Every structure is written in structure tokens, then in C-alpha cells.
Homo-oligomer: A and B are copies of this chain.
């Protein structure tokens, strides 16, 4: 079937490529950068010069996938697009939108007879080759109509061992996509996916940090161990309980540079980790690990917090403790 794609960054362009190559689908593409459109259309899809042209080139009922940065840009594109579409058309938001925004938008678009689908997409830069893991929120009819698109984008069951207890025809989840529920559900499940991702990453990160510091000068000399973290990461890929794709990536990074010294240590976060915490708080579900993983990133981006200065000020107040202005060079490195 035909899909329109707005936003031809790495993700948008690769999704189009996969649709054409793996599924024999058809695409109309648009990006505010005309060069980008020209470049991708040389690979097959029809280019378009603006949103009006884009809409005109799509067959009805239209399916328009928006793949631009989440937040105000996505909002603006959807607003403009919705002014050009007709009843029966569908807007698919494939970015990392906040799920409550999906619900709000779907409600507004429904009044115009326009359908809305939120797709949580995991797989990052590897998706074009591995396929994308898709979590989809939509009304049933809309999901059904677009399913051929999702099926092509997903990895398929491949040769991953089947989960015990599953038999017969492959379920959608085994093909790598699910209809998670009504609008909002796709991004909700993707949000939790990313929340978990933060937690998993932090678990590995802390473990490797302790391994790296097993020879810390803080320790009694006879208790210091010099551990090769690159070899540890590799061996854990082989039959251990902590085997995972994130570990594979860690092993590759450590292979390239065992002390990771080219990294600053500044770690960004996108919205999903924060929304996961909000969701936990709203439900009164304790989420210590997912929250700590987020806070660690916050802390990584600061030189020092005001909180730490408050601590030192109190210590001076009750004990006359004066912290060193510049930390001693040989301690806690």
C-alpha cells in the first residue's frame, strides 16, 4: 500500500527504504529540506515540494507518517497537515510523543473525521536492517487498514527461538509489532520501554564502574584487583544471565576504547524517562530503579549541584569541616 512520510531524517528515510525494499510498498515523501527530498526520491519514492503537494500526491484515504522531532515541531506539522487532509485520512505519529498529547490530538482530529495513530518505534539506527519493533495505538479499524505497513517494518519472527507455550500461527507480537490499545497506548508502551532501557543501562554502567574501580587506591592494597572490563563484557555475552543487546553494544564500545576516555560523561535524556517517572507517581507504583537511572543523567550534566553546596555548608556549620576547594588529586578518581 501507499504511505506518505514527512521528515526524512535517519529514521524517516530508513522507514521508507524498508517499506519499498522489503514490502513492495509505495511512498510519497516530504522534508522541509528540498535536497533531502531529491536525494531520497532518487531511490524510488515520489518527492513533494510542500505539504500541499505532498497531500495531493497521496491516494485516498491517505496515510501520512510524521517523523520529525517530538514536541513543538511535530505539533506544528500535524496542525498544518490536518488543515489539508480530508475525512477518512490518517495521521501517524512515529516519534516519541507524550501519550497524553496523542489522546488530545486524536480527539481534536476526530472532529474533522481524521484518524490518528501513535507508533512507538524501537530499534534505533539498526532498524533498517533488523526491522523496527513497533508498539501501535489506534482504533481497531485504522490499525487493520494500516497493518501491511507495520508488518513490513517489523523484524518478523526471524530465527529468534520461540517463547515456550506459543504455538500455531505467529502472533503479531512475534512478528515484531503489536496493537497495544487505543490511541496513546503505542507511545505509552514505548515510554515504558525507554524507562526500562534507562534502568538496564544504569545497571550495567554501575557494575562496570565497580569493576573498573576494583583496583582503587582507596582499597587496602591486598584487596585490589585489576579487572579487564573489555574481556568481562565479552565473556558475559556467552551464556551468562546478563546477556542482552545493550551488553553487545557495551562490549563493542569497550573493544574500541577500553577506558572510554573519549566520552565526556555528560549524558542526555529524552522525555520518556521523565514521563515514566510521572506515570509511576500517578499510579503510586514504586519505581526506584527507573527513577535513579534518570537522576543519574541529570547529575551527569552538572558541574556541582546546589544541594552539594548545602551539604558542605551544614558540615561547616556543625563540625567546622572545610571541604577542599579543589578535590585532592589522588582520591575518588
The residue from B155, B202, B331 contacting A301, defined by CB atoms under 8 A apart? B331
Q: How large is the interface on A (under 10, 10 to 19, 20 to 34, 35 or more residues)?
A: 35 or more
Q: Which residues of B contact A133 (CB under 8 A)?
A: 235-236, 238-240
CA of A154 to CA of B287, assembled, Å: 36
Asked if A289 contacts B289 (CB within 8 A), the reply is yes
Residue contact A278 to B279, C-beta cutoff 8 Å: no
Evaluate whether A192 and B210 lie within 8 angstroms (CB atoms) in the complex, with A238-B176, A246-B244, A264-B323 already known.
yes
How many of these chains are in the complex? 4
A206 near B211: Cβ-Cβ < 8 Å: no
Q: State which of B184, B207, B227, B314 has its C-beta within 8 Å of the C-beta of A225.
A: B184
Asked, given contacts A199-B289, A203-B293, A318-B124, whether A263 binds B223 with beta carbons under 8 Å apart, the answer is: no
Asked if A41 CB lies within 8 Å of chain B CBs, one says no
With CB as the reference atom, state the residue of chain B lying closest to A153.
B239
Residue from B237, B267, B296 within 8 A of A286 (CB atoms): B296
Given A264-B323, A277-B281, A287-B206, does the pair A180, B305 have CB atoms closer than 8 Å? no
Q: Please state if B302 and A332 are interface contacts (CB–CB under 8 Å).
A: yes
